């Protein structure tokens, strides 16, 4: 029995506020702050000499007001750290590792590519939604997004992808056991980062990078610099125009490739994988997977929209879709392995019947 002195307990439902919308609406502020700092080589300069706002202004020949604001913004994003004794800023471990030019894992190229190529394309996303056509290149004038592209921009693109792929390959190698395989065919293998990392982790494994001629030239250079050329070779080719894939491989890797193409094109790729593999061989599809319910996760869903502005028919697919295609191509024992990496969140694996 309650008394007049008993406290009244009122359950209050969590209030819906516009804070999440504010964070979404202003997300580009953080990106453009990062992109500006990368473009100015701010992190490269701070790697050798910490600077306060006044020193930064002198170094870059700008006013002190924007110098201080840029330093504060980068610090707020966790990219810089400030010494409270002298007021000088230096790189955080994250920036020192990935945003200093000539660093082993320089990620700034990816930021530059996003800023110069994709940011303008995303500004035209409404056009892409209405027309179902890419906005970063003209399919009426080019056969692909790579044809006719600025060579300097493409160099930046491949440098960016090498850094991104290196860490994604490490996560894949931890999540998927390649110890039982002898030789890997990396279809659309790009810079060779996956082959380098997987062969370093699995000493019994050798690999072939299969890609367009100008790409395999770049991959060969990366492989040589990695000192692993005795176990990784390159094979120039076109996985659509070539009638078949190189054989003598017991595992085929399709990493961050399938999202570039339509369902029909991906099914054709998988049929060639099946034909090239020996009995018991496997195909590994590593991607940012959209969930089967098509409600996320956000990185995969947004990457899929990125394919709208970058490709004619590509998008990010679900495990259920990959299962169906693999099954129709003849693969069985299909399974999905989830992991976390910058370029992928999972792998779908299928085996050719023994």
The domain ranges of the chain are: 19-103, 164-351
Query: Which residues are known catalytic residues?
Result: 259
% of residues, the chain, pLDDT over 70: 93
Q: Which CATH superfamily is domain 164-351 in?
A: Vaccinia Virus protein VP39 (3.40.50.150)
- Letter string b/e over residues 101-125, b meaning 16 or more CB atoms within 10 A of that residue's CB: eebeebbbbbbbbbbbbeeebbeee
Q: Same CATH topology for 19-103 and 164-351?
A: no
Kindly report, residue by residue over 186-235, the tens digit of the pLDDT. Answer: 999 999 999 999 999 999 999 999 999 989 999 999 999 999 999 999 99
Contact 266, 324 (CB under 8 A): no
Contact 221, 215 (CB under 8 A): no
CATH of 19-103, one of 3.30.1540.10, 1.10.10.10, 3.40.50.300, 1.10.287.810: 1.10.10.10
**Residue 162 to residues 3, 105, 130, 250, 324: CA-CA distances in angstroms?**
71, 8, 33, 24, 31
Kindly report, residue by residue over 67-84, the tens digit of the pLDDT. Answer: 999 999 999 999 999 999
Cα–Cα dist 328/156, whole Å: 38
**pTM for this model (two decimals):** 0.91
Give helix 151-175 / helix 193-201 axis angle, nearest 10°: 30
Q: Assess whether pLDDT exceeds 50 at residue 1.
A: no
Contact 172, 346 (CB under 8 A): no
């Amino acid at each position: 029995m309650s008394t007049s002195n008993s406290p009244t307990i009122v359950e209050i439902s969590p209030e819906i506020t516009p804070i999440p919308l504010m964070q979404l609406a202003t997300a580009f502020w953080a990106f453009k702050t990062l992109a500006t700092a990368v473009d100015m080589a701010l992190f490269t300069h701070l790697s050798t000499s910490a600077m306060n706002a006044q020193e930064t202004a002198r170094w870059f020949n700008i006013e002190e007001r924007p110098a201080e604001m840029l330093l504060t913004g980068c610090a707020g994003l966790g990219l810089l750290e400030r010494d409270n004794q002298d007021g000088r800023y230096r790189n955080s471990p994250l920036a020192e590792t990935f945003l200093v030019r000539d660093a082993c894992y320089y990620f700034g190229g990816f930021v530059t590519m996003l800023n110069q190529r994709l940011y303008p394309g995303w500004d035209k996303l409404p056009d892409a939604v209405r027309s179902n056509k890419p906005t970063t290149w003209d399919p009426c004038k080019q056969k692909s997004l790579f044809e006719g592209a600025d060579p300097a921009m493409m160099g930046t693109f491949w440098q960016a992808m090498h850094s991104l792929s290196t860490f994604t390959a490490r996560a894949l190698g931890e999540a998927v056991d390649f110890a039982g395989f002898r030789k890997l065919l990396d279809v659309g293998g790009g810079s060779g980062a996956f082959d380098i990392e997987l062969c370093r982790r699995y000493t019994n494994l050798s690999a072939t990078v299969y890609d367009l001629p100008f790409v395999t030239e770049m991959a060969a250079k990366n492989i040589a610099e990695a000192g692993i050329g005795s176990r990784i070779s390159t094979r120039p080719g076109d996985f659509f125009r070539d009638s078949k894939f190189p054989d003598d491989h017991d595992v085929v890797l399709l990493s961050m490739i399938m999202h570039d193409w339509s369902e029909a094109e991906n099914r054709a790729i998988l049929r060639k994988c099946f034909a090239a593999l020996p009995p018991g061989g496997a195909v590994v599809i590593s991607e940012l997977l959209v969930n089967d319910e098509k409600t996320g996760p956000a990185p995969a869903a947004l990457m899929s929209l990125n394919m709208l502005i970058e490709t004619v028919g590509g998008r990010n697919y679900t495990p259920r879709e990959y299962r169906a295609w693999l099954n129709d191509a003849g693969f069985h024992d299909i399974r999905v392995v989830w992991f976390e990496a910058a370029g992928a969140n999972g792998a779908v694996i299928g085996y050719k019947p023994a």
